[in-house]
């Protein structure tokens, strides 16, 4: 069966790649949206923190023999703790200032973190092999589905759904939403808003690191792997609307798929399609598709 | 801490309170005090500094100096989120209902600070409208219902000192009347209340004492018993 005289295998193949990219966009933009909502800071270090996730997984495996599954749990916690330290020592001084200061500081942090990894490990990519239990693939009849890629999509969606559920349906989430909306009043009710902000940043950063560990076996592990990705993720967040959790997830997935399919229909546009959509959305709905007008 | 409050002892003493938003100096040496079970009003024109007085007590201004003794403890240097846990409940100007929370989530948001607050059932009985609309978005309620919610939300926490900022503003007379009944009931239950009001007719019969604030300091203290004799002067101060 051919569509536009392109074999269906090609369509499904690109759809899968789109889904995988979309899953990464979703997890990363979710963390960014969460951080922006509560801290009012555009976390430019997000890409570097994603890279740290992949790199620490690689370092753990190479030097310490820590396997993939342990890394998947441990690395986000470790990177999340570095996030907590960054928030406590640096970011907390910026909340009363313009967005721009947070952006500059986190941008500087990204350069420093990436610079450190380049200094010690160079720029060439390090391979990270797929864990044994996820090697191989499944023939679905219409296409061949590599198990690891299926796992990445499922794991990302589960983490996104879990985060969404926590924020929208639980008591902790109610604190978080209220803190995003009116932190001063939350303090006046006796809620420890500074602690909440610290934990939210830590969690957002941990999400980035989680995506990094997931990415390690798919992409080459190298110091700049995050800086290319993060630009697209920023576009995703702008399109979805800053601070909207569901918006970040849905937009991330959808744009990954759009990007993948564009590669089939008109390959030259595939690397710019998301930015073109961003321009159109900004013109029509400046607050983003899911954003609330201020 | 719970039982340390004696029935008619002094609960709050504010001395030489100065408060700032950034560089702007808003309160210029406020003095007043409040006994357990009393209701006082803070009156004054727009911009006099009444809201700022409540915010200064709660630590919501950028800087404050002087002294605020609550139940025998200096709270001037206490972290903002710790102050309410001493027993304070706050209804802010414009009610502060959260749009991203349902009615019930709004009601359950403030952490419990003492075990003897009203139960959710009791509050739904007191404000039946809230029970009916518990799943609605908080800000979908009418102005009156939102005000009930703002009050109910702090009564649940066990706060026994209530800071209420213009709770009658923009509400229909029947709702104002209902709020008057609620406050009368709360006074009976020995709540201590600071009421910021524009609606003097509402505040007058409830209060033990009135403080007139002007340009960030107390211009005049009027005991309830002397109210009638001071009416014309009060009208002049409030510009009504
Ligand atoms: N966040 C703020 N930053 C700077 N100045 C402020 C801020 N909030 C209030 N002010 C100023 O402080 C003064 C006192 O304001 P406040 O809100 O306490 O008045 P108020 O007596 O409650 O009056 P009303 O509520 O009727 O307007 C006003 O001059 C106001 O402009
Ligand atoms: Mg006011």
In chain B, residues with a C-beta closer than 8 Å to the C-beta of A185 are 90, 92, 96
Residue B154 Cβ < 6 Å to ligand 1 = no
In chain A, residues with a C-beta closer than 8 Å to the C-beta of B81 are 187, 190-194
Number of domains in chain A: 1
Instruction: Identify the CA nearest to A77 among candidates A52, A98, A95, A99.
Output: A52
Whether residue A197 contacts residue A180, with contact meaning beta carbons closer than 8 Å, is answered with no
Per residue in B29-48, pLDDT (tens digit) is: 999 999 999 999 999 999 99
The secondary structure of residue B84, as a DSSP letter, is: G
Q: Over range A195-216, report the average pLDDT.
A: 97
Pocket test for ligand 1, best of B18, B26, B217 (most atoms within 8 A of CB): B26
B128 min Cα distance to partner chain A (Å): 23
Query: Does a structural domain hold residue A115?
Result: no
Closest-CA residue in chain A for B113? Answer: A190
The packing angle between helices A46-59 and A225-240, to 10°, is 140
Q: Which protein residue's CA is at the shortest distance from atom 24 of ligand 1?
A: B46
Closest-CA residue in chain A for B107? Answer: A174
Per residue in A253-280, pLDDT (tens digit) is: 999 999 999 999 999 998 899 999 999 9
- The residue whose two tokens read 């509050």 is B123
Query: Does a structural domain hold residue A202?
Result: yes
B240 min Cα distance to partner chain A (Å): 31
pLDDT of residue B232: 85
Q: Which of B53, B75, B81 to mutate to test the interface with A (most CBs of A within 10 A)?
A: B81
pLDDT of residue B161: 97
Q: Which of A185, A190, A197 to mutate to test the interface with B (most CBs of B within 10 A)?
A: A190
DSSP string, B135-174: TSBGGGS-HHHHHHHHHHHHHTTT--EEEEESTTTT--HH
Per residue in A17-70, pLDDT (tens digit) is: 999 999 999 999 999 999 998 898 999 999 999 999 999 999 999 999 999 999
Ligand 1 atom at shortest distance from the alpha carbon of B49: 18
pLDDT of residue B212: 95
Radius of gyration of chain A (CA): 19
Percent helix / strand / coil, chain A, rounded to 5: 75, 5, 20
Q: Over range B162-185, report the average pLDDT.
A: 95
Report the C-alpha gap between A245 and A249 in whole angstroms. Answer: 7
CA dihedral B180, B186, B187, B193 (to 10 degrees): -90
Q: How many CB atoms lie within 10 A of CB A65?
A: 8
pLDDT of residue B2: 46
Pocket test for ligand 1, best of B17, B18, B21 (most atoms within 8 A of CB): B21
Query: Does a structural domain hold residue A273?
Result: yes
Which is it for the CA torsion A41, A44, A49, A54, positive or negative? positive
pLDDT of residue B8: 57
Query: Does a structural domain hold residue A105?
Result: no
Closest-CA residue in chain B for A196? Answer: B81
Query: Does a structural domain hold residue A194?
Result: yes
pLDDT of residue A293: 60
pTM assigned to the model: 0.91
Q: Over range A91-95, report the average pLDDT.
A: 91
B197 min Cα distance to partner chain A (Å): 20
Per residue in B65-75, pLDDT (tens digit) is: 999 999 999 99
Q: Is the pLDDT of residue A87 over 60?
A: yes
The H or E element containing residue B237 is helix B227-238
Query: Does a structural domain hold residue A244?
Result: yes
Confidence of residue A287 (pLDDT cuts 50, 70, 90): confident
Q: Is the pLDDT of residue A247 over 50?
A: yes
ipTM for the predicted complex comes to 0.93
Q: Over range A101-106, report the average pLDDT.
A: 94
Beta strands in A123-226 (DSSP E): 137-139, 144-146
Q: How many CB atoms lie within 10 A of CB B207?
A: 24
The secondary structure of residue B113, as a DSSP letter, is: -
In chain B, residues with a C-beta closer than 8 Å to the C-beta of A186 are 109
Confidence of residue A4 (pLDDT cuts 50, 70, 90): confident
Confidence of residue B1 (pLDDT cuts 50, 70, 90): very low
Ligand 1 atom at shortest distance from the alpha carbon of B216: 14
pLDDT of residue A242: 80
A82 touches B: beta carbon within 8 Å: no
Report the C-alpha gap between B145 and A125 in whole angstroms. Answer: 61
CA distances from A149 to A24, A31, A287 (A): 12, 21, 33
Q: Which residues of B touch A (CB under 8 A)?
A: 58-60, 80-85, 90, 92, 96, 98-101, 105, 108-111, 113, 154, 157
Confidence of residue B6 (pLDDT cuts 50, 70, 90): low
Pick from A201-205, A247-251, B3-7, B198-202 the range whose average pLDDT is largest: A201-205
pLDDT of residue A51: 98
Q: Is the pLDDT of residue A198 over 70?
A: yes
- Domain residues for A69? 11-100+143-284
A194 touches B: beta carbon within 8 Å: yes
Mean pLDDT score of chain A: 93
Query: Does a structural domain hold residue A108?
Result: no
pLDDT of residue A58: 97
Query: Does a structural domain hold residue A239?
Result: yes
pLDDT of residue B3: 46
Q: Is the pLDDT of residue B119 over 90?
A: yes
Tell me the percentage of chain A whose pLDDT exceeds 90.
Answer: 81
Mean pLDDT score of chain B: 93
């Amino acid at each position: 069966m051919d569509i536009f005289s392109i074999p269906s295998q090609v369509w499904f193949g690109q759809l899968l790649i789109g889904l995988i990219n979309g899953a990464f966009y979703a997890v990363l933009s979710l963390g960014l949206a969460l951080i922006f909502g509560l801290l009012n800071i555009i976390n430019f270090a997000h890409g570097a923190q994603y890279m740290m996730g992949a790199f620490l997984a690689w370092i753990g495996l190479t030097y310490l023999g820590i396997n993939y599954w342990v890394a998947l749990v441990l690395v986000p916690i470790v990177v999340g703790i570095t996030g907590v330290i960054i928030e406590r020592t640096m970011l907390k001084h910026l909340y009363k200032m313009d967005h721009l200061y947070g952006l500059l500081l986190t941008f500087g942090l990204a350069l420093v973190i990436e610079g450190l990894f380049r200094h010690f490990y160079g720029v060439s990519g390090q391979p990270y092999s797929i864990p044994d239990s996820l090697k191989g693939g499944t023939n679905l009849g219409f296409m061949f589905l590599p198990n690891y890629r299926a796992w990445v999509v499922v794991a990302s969606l589960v983490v996104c759904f879990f985060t969404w559920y926590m924020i929208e349906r639980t008591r902790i989430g109610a604190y978080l939403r209220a803190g995003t909306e009116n932190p001063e009043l939350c303090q006046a009710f006796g809620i420890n808003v500074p602690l909440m902000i610290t934990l939210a940043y830590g969690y957002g950063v941990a999400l980035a690191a989680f995506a990094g560990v997931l990415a390690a076996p798919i992409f080459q592990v190298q110091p700049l792997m995050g800086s290319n990705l993060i630009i697209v993720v920023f576009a995703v967040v702008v399109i979805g609307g800053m601070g909207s959790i569901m918006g970040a997830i849905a937009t991330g997935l959808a744009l990954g798929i759009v990007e993948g399919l564009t590669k089939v229909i008109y390959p030259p546009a595939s690397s710019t399609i998301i930015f073109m959509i961003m321009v159109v959305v900004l013109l029509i709905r400046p607050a983003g598709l899911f954003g609330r007008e201020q | 801490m719970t039982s340390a409050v004696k029935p008619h002892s002094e609960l709050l003493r504010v001395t030489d309170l100065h408060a700032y938003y950034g560089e702007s100096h808003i309160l210029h040496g406020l003095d007043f005090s409040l006994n357990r079970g009393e209701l006082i009003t803070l009156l004054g024109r727009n911009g006099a500094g009444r809201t700022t007085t409540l915010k200064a007590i709660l630590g919501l201004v950028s800087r404050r100096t002087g002294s605020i003794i609550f139940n025998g403890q200096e709270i001037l240097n206490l972290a903002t989120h710790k102050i309410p846990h001493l027993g304070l409940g706050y209804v802010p100007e414009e009610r502060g209902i959260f749009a991203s929370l349902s009615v019930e989530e709004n009601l359950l948001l403030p952490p419990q600070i003492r075990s003897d607050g009203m139960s959710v059932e009791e509050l739904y009985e007191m404000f039946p409208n809230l029970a009916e609309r518990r799943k609605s978005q908080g800000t979908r309620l009418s102005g009156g219902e939102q005000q009930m919610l703002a009050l109910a939300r702090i009564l649940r926490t066990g706060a026994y000192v209530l800071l209420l900022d213009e709770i009658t503003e923009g509400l229909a007379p029947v709702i104002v009347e209902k709020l008057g009944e609620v406050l009368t009931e709360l006074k009976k239950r020995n709540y201590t209340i600071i009421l910021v009001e524009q609606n003097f007719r509402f505040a007058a019969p409830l209060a033990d004492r009135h403080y007139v604030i002007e340009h960030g300091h107390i211009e005049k203290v009027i005991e309830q018993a002397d109210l009638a004799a001071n009416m014309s002067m009060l009208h002049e101060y409030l510009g009504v």
